[in-house]
Amino acid sequence: MPKVQLYVSPGGYFAERWSGGSSMPPLGLLYIGAVLEREKIPVEIVPCNVLGLGWKDIIRKIRRDRPDIVGVTITTENRFQAFKLVRLAKRAHPGCWTVLGGPHASMAAEDCLRHIPELDVVVRGEGEMTMLEMCRVWDSASRSDAPPRLESLHDVPGLVLRKNGEIAGNAPRTPIADLDSLPFPAYHLVPFEKYNFAFEVPGHGPLPAANIMTSRGCPFACNFCATPVNWGRTVRMRSPENVVREIELLKARYGIKVVFFFDDTFNASPKRADAICDLMIERKLDVFFKCDVRLDIMSRELLLKMKSAGLFHLSYGLEAGSDRVREEIVGKRIEMADFHNLTAWCVELGIIANVFFIFSHPTETWREAQETIRIIEEYKDRIEGSVAILHIYPGTPLEKLARETGFLPEGFTWTRHYRKGVITLPLAQGDVPLYIDKLTWAQVSELILRWSFSARRTSLLRKAPRALRQIRSFDDLKRLLVMGRVYLRLKRASRRNYQTHT
């Protein structure tokens, strides 16, 4: 059997999100590791981010260990680090198969292979069975070939690779219908304690946490979201009993006290969410939990049950205050009444409501964007607000629109840093293209800064020195200067308002 190493690049998935010293275990790799271990395939997971491995360390490790397959998980935010790791792996051990998997690879497979010659194979979609079959093919081929050739992978479903010099995808792999058939993630393959994964629970302080995925897929169709591309539109769900057994294992083995249900929509089936909560209460798990839900299918009865089972933090997306933008542009047909009701219930029950908002949707006007900021400011003392400028991700309807309208220039590739014509804010928003349509940069800056002021966040100002160090072009500098001018104008207006009212 081949020797497999699976890597998380230095910097992790979202370097800025976890820059405070806490990180989240890589569930995708842990599931693959568990499946390979079950089949007696030697596998090592190498989370460079938590192990503190630099590029020279990685080169030395691959040269020393000589793995047969080097897999790297990739998101759009960390894609450049992942590309670098693939290149270094192939140079350190030319005989290995280099493999990319994860969200970005699934959505931009051809782009990755076209521009990264050191990359051999991309796994599209779920990786467990595809990686297992790849290992079996390697083992079979190694008995006759020396070394096994990539051509032997041409019939493995779920792979994209080069065939006769052309990039082509194999047949798609059928999604795993019975998620209970998978072993629990192989948490023992990573130094769990080094992640320092914790959440602040009101009245209890920071408590040790673990992330659990209880379903895959999303039935909804938001224009900016890649989940339906990556996981599919059909939601596949683990049974409540299977979910609770994993929580019990994590409690017993790692002492976790907070569960982060890492599903896109925990309440995609309200009946199943209710059943999970029933079991958590019946088994007296005594853990807190947080999750993301679709707000218009939440009921007060389910929220009460979730609260009884340990819910302390609930996230849901409103995205935009404008009905037109939500319904016609985003494709999120939810009523404002549902948002007001769910938020009121959370306040009543003492549950933290974390609401997602996005600025600069296609065709969104200044007037419509101000509908969003007014909601944020109206609810500033009742909710947490998670705010972003609209990101463009590969494989989404938004990417298609961005290419058609020129927001992504002709010849754009996700493998290259762009200096002109593509706007990014790597420090605050990740190194992902932003969609700036009808709003000016000054207006976008005002919206972000007004949110920052209403949420009493000072982090934007603290980030200024690092932002200056990340300037890559004159356009970057101009945008930072514009944001600086808007910041000073809003601060002066805030002081005048304070003096007027005192």
Domains in the chain and their CATH numbers?
Answer: 4-169 (3.40.50.2300), 197-423 (3.20.20.70)
Q: What is the pLDDT of residue 15?
A: 46
Mean pLDDT computed over every residue of the chain? 91
Range 47-64 average pLDDT: 96
Between 27 and 417, the more confident residue is 27
Q: What is the pLDDT of residue 392?
A: 95
- Secondary structure class of 494 (helix, strand, coil): helix
How far is Cα 274 from Cα 306, in angstroms, rounded to an integer?
7
Q: What is the pLDDT of residue 229?
A: 72
Between 466 and 304, the more confident residue is 304
Which helix H or strand E contains 71, and what residues bound it?
A: strand 69-73
Instruction: Specify the amino acid at residue 260.
Output: F
**348 — pLDDT class (breaks 50, 70, 90):** very high
**Range with the lowest mean pLDDT among 31-35, 109-113, 299-303, 430-434?**
430-434
**466 — pLDDT class (breaks 50, 70, 90):** low
How far is Cα 15 from Cα 431, in angstroms, rounded to an integer?
10
Q: What is the pLDDT of residue 480?
A: 85
- Secondary structure class of 430 (helix, strand, coil): strand
Q: What is the pLDDT of residue 454?
A: 78
- Of 320, 269, 322, which Cα lies nearest the Cα of 299? 269
pLDDT tens, 150-207?
999 999 999 999 998 899 999 999 999 999 999 999 999 999 999 999 999 999 999 9
In sequence order, the 6+-apart residues with CB closer than 8 A to the CB of 186 are 30, 31, 33, 34, 37, 45
Between 446 and 501, the more confident residue is 446
pLDDT tens, 137-147?
999 888 776 66
**Range with the lowest mean pLDDT among 85-94, 259-268, 399-408, 450-459?**
450-459
Instruction: Specify the amino acid at residue 83.
Output: F
Look at the block and give the residue holding tokens 């290419």: 403
Q: What is the pLDDT of residue 460?
A: 55
- Secondary structure class of 387 (helix, strand, coil): strand
256 in Cβ contact with 210 (< 8 Å): yes
Joined tokens for residue 269? 């089936």
**Distance from CA of residue 17 to its chain's centroid?**
10
Quote the Cα angle for 201-203-209, to 5°.
25
Global confidence as pTM? 0.93
